[in-house]
Structure formats: C-alpha cells, structure tokens
Structure 1
Amino acid sequence: MPDPLALAITTGEPAGIGPDITIGALLQLAGSNGNRNGHYRFHVLGDARLLASRAAALGVGHAWTRQIGEGGVVVEDVPLGVQSEPGRLDARNGRYVLALLDAAIDGLQAGKYAAMITAPVQKSTINDAGVPFTGHTEYLAERAAVPRVVMMLAGPQPAHDNAMLRVALATTHLPLRAVPDALDIPMLVETLTIVDTDLRRHFGIARPRILVTGLNPHAGESGHMGREEIDVIAPALAQACDAGIDARGPYPADTLFQPRHLRDADCVLAMYHDQGLAPLKYGTFGHGVNITLGLPFIRTSVDHGTALDLAGTGRAEHGSMIEAIRSAITMAGHANGRHHDGNAGVWPATR
C-alpha cells in the first residue's frame, strides 16, 4: 500500500474561525470514515496550544486529542507571536500567519506535502504588521515565482445531481473601471491555457469545455455596446482553439449561468470578479471552494472570510472547509496517479 498523501492545512488568522473550521471539518471527516483506508494524512499548521484551547472551547477537546493520537492528524506547531483571543485582531500575529503559509509552501516544494488547504486570513493584520499583502493568491504566485495564476471557484449544482460548477476569472481584485484595460489577447490566451491544463491535470477531464463570457452587456451587441468582444475576446478564443483548447463564446453573462447552458460545460471563464462569482456564490456559498490554478502545487481554500464574530462560539459553519479538503484530495489523487476521490459521495470530481 502506498504511503498516505500528506495534505497541509494552514489555520489562518488566529482570532478568526480558521482554527474552528479546521477542527470541525477534520473531526466530521473522521466521523464519516472518509479516511478509513489511510489514503491521506492531514498536517495542521498552527499554534498547538491555540488549537487545543479552541477545541476545548468548542466542546471537542477529547475528540481532537484522540484524532491526533490516532495519527490521522499531525499538528505542525508554529508558535503565535502573542497569545490570541477569538475575535480580537493583533498585528503582532501578522507574521505568524505568513509563517504558516511559508511552512506549507516550503513543504510542498520539498515534496513533503501533496497539497495545501488554506483557512482565511485577515489581510489588514498582515499589512499592519508591516508586510505588504494583497491576498493568498498573489502571495503564493510570488513565492512560487510564476508570472500568472488564475483564481477559480467551484461548487456543487444541486439542480444537476450535484455536478460541479466551476468559474475562473480573467481578472480578480481590480476596480471595475480598470478591467477593460487589463484585458488583452495574450493574457486571455494564457489564462485559457492555464485553465485547460489544470482541468486536465488535476481533475482528470480529458478535453475540458470552457464557456467564456463577454465583458459588456449582451456581449457587446455586435459592437454597439463595446468592442472588447470583437477586438480582444473573440481573437483570443480563436488563438486558443487553434492551440487545441475547446473554448467557446463570448456569451452574454446575464444568460450564460443557466442549467441548460452549463450542463455540458466544465468551466466558465468570466472577465471580472463579480460577473462570475456573484452567480456562483448565490448557488454554492458555504459549500464552495477557491482553487488557485497555474501554481506548481495544489492549493484550495474556503469561499469565505475570517468571521471574527463567530470565532470560538461554535456557530461557524465548516462546510466550505470540508469541500476544500475533498477537492484537494481529488486533485492530489489525479496528480499522483491514484485517482481516489475525496468527495465521499457528496459531489463528483468531474462533471
């Protein structure tokens, strides 16, 4: 039997719900026998005393200790800068959060871990600690020394037997007025190439079908509402198709997100953040997964923030963390040629 796949989980902002949802998700997965064959081992990166204290506050201290003792969970102790209280940010722990990410990235690059799953961070705390930080995605790309990564969110579509809805973004955290200038043909071709490559490599989809939105209302209405579809998006699609990528469009975004259009699609590429993520999060919030494509390693995350007001209360939902873990397992299985599915019947790895 091969060695278990090691998956790193960074517990994120210590004053937020990252520790809570990590503990809750791993205990639920253990209770459902999701790892009954020992295919994978979870390496939880965080302050060991903080995790034990939070588990006790949530009323699962004994179960957490037992899970660690059984070996399915390994706590990689990374000390806090200062003691943390639920719901109370402290800039002195900003560098602690980055230390968690660095430990996971170092482990991935050394071959210690097969994937990383990240709990949410508080960007303001890291910046207040004197470290410029715009987000996980940008930090991981810089550490991995890759020029472009693609943000993709995914979640189950209950109306279609829980088939996956995946939405990738051509641009991410930009002011709306900056989006048209950020779009050009080479960038879109590179984005489509990354999406196509990672859907094949990490999801086992032999020939991904990618539907691409327009930028303007009605996809530009033949140039009457903007020419980006004619001058930029359509030429990029033509180049991508010439390279063997099944990319179609541009389609009006207001009508594309319908079951009859998405039924045979593997991913939608949207031009900007809210265009793609508003419909996805409406249907999947709390069970969605944030996946970074284009990295030399696998990274998944939750679809929500730190929820400081819920930290330590026992009211935080850990559904998205479970799905992030399951997605990482599925992706790591494909990447390592094992093809075991972490979804445990919740939703399929492909369509």
Structure 2
Amino acid sequence: MVVIVDEPKARTRRRTFNYVREGCILRHISKYATKLIKEGDNRAWRIFYEVPYRKISSKWIYELGFTNNGGFTASKYRAEELAGGKPKHIIVDREELRQLKIEVRDKTVQRLKREVQETYDPMIREVKEFAGQMGIEVIASERLGDWLRDMNLGLKSNLCFWPEEARAESIKATSKLAYQMWVFMLTHKALGCRGVKKNWLLELGSKYPASVFSDEKNRYWTGWWEPQRISKAPPAYKGRLCNFFKGRVVWKRPDMIFSIGRYETLVDAPEFNILVECKNFEFIEWWENGRILEEELVPYMQLFRPQLFVLASLCEVPEWAKNELEEKGIVVVDKLHIDGERVREFFNLLVSEFGI
C-alpha cells in the first residue's frame, strides 16, 4: 500500500515539512518516498510524496513549518492515520522538540550548524545579557527572534526547511542578522551607553528608530536598523538627503546608522555620525570583484555622508582590499568577533572619533 504525504507551500511565509521520527532523529519524508509530484503555481503549491506504507508503519510523523506570519510550529500524528484519511495532529511541546535532532547529511549545512553553535550562539548570549542589563526587550524578525528565545529550537526552525540548500540559505540569512545585532550592541557599548530609552526594534525596513540611548556625557543617540527607504521629504526639509528626493529614491538599506540626538525618522536627523556595514561571511563571498563598492558602499557614503563609515567583518579582509576601501573613506575592522583583539580596536575607533 502507498500513502500520500503532502506539503503545502505559499508565497507568503507559510511552509510545511514532514519528518519521520527514528529514535531521536527526524528524517525528511522524501527519504522514504518513491515518487514526488508538485501541483500549483508560484503563488501556492503542494508537493505530494508517495510513500510505501510499510516504510513508515507505526512511526510518528512530525509536521514542522511556519504560519503566514512566519511563526515556527510543530505538530505530530501517527503514520497509520494516513491510511484512514486526514491525520489528527497533536501539538508538540517545546521540551519534546528540544530532545529531537533533525538529520543533516549535507556537509555545507553541517558546517553552518557548527558555526552557529560556536560563533553565533555566544553572540546571542552576549546580546541577551546586555538587554537584561538595560532592561529592554529585543524585537526582531521571526528566525532571529527564534534564536533569541531558544537557540536549540531556533536552529531547528532553520533546519526544518527542505531541501538541504534551503536549510543553508535560512541559516545564512539568520546568522547575518545575528552578527549585525551583535555589532549593533557592540556599537552601543563603544559609545558608552548607560541607558536605553526604548526596546530595540530590529525589523528590516522600519521607519522607526531601532534604539534611542544616552551615553556617559548625557548625550542622546538614535540608531536605525536597515532603515526604510524614503520616497519624499517634508516640504521644509533642508537636510543632507535633499538631492535624493528629486526623483525616485533607490538604494539598498545600510545595516545601521547612528546620529547624535533623539529623532523619530531619518529626515529629522541633521547629520549621520556613524554608518556601520557588517559582513559575516568570507571576503570572497561578498567582495564580488569590487562590485560592492559601486553598488552599495559608495552610494551609502554619497547618500548619508557619515562622519565615520565602518565596515565590520567577522572574517579577515586582505590588505589590498582594506586599502581600496579606506581610499573611499571606509574604515575596515576585520576579524571582529567575541574575545577577539579587534573588539578593542573597534572601541578605540569610536572613542577617538566621538570623545566618549
């Protein structure tokens, strides 16, 4: 007998993935299937797996996935129910899910998983410690929020994707944000942050500041996290962004910007004191033969004209590339990670520039 296991997908964040439990291991249903059928279009589709019943008889099937809002969900049902119609799902509690492991065979995904555990998990813990000291909540995108709440379950929200390439992309996207968040926190510390006035809003493209804080000199600072593109300015606006409101404004969002003072929007700020762009992958993965200079970094410089432009890199940047970047007015701090000597270099750079 053959049973059908289906996985509905949609262009929204809704996704469903089925896993067979083998001891404490969750193995994707495709490993048991003899045939795969895809139906639908680019807006909504379903993948049907034809599975010999004998291969999954008496086993639990775990359905992992995401709601339309991006929330991570987990439920389970008995394989026998597939033969009798629509399975009855049971919600999987967090502790049960923690005890299970999603099978990973792809070497790239295995490497990325180790990097999360060895590099990004300590960064997440440091950010959570800082947030606790400041008495704030960190409001972040779904997958980064999963990592903040529980790294064990958060990583499962990346690994539940299928195929393996999708897992790799999910981990890369979340690790990028995790490094960016850690550098965001590091910038607060380097600027002598002594009190944060609002919860961190680390949402991509938000029109609101991500953070407002005061330093040891009682100055306010406003920080933006990948700020929203602005299509037009108020009629009386005479600030730095004037030239970019003459037509359609098109630019990729910089990772973070800081201005001395307390502001509600980018156009409220008379100047931008610090712009930090973060790179957490190997140099060769983001340099793209120098295209990044003309397509991202130089436009950021022209648009925001920051007093200090820092490129923070987790990995080493070759000296020739550093020189090329510094010729454009961009200061490179590479090998910037927890317990690294470059943390002190990053602190000294901001202290010397802003007299903390």
Q: TM-score, normalised by structure 2?
A: 0.27
Greater CA radius of gyration, 1 or 2? 2
Question: Which of the pair has the greater relative contact order for Cα pairs under 8 Å at 6+ separation?
Answer: 1
Q: TM-score, normalised by structure 1?
A: 0.27
Higher helix share: 1
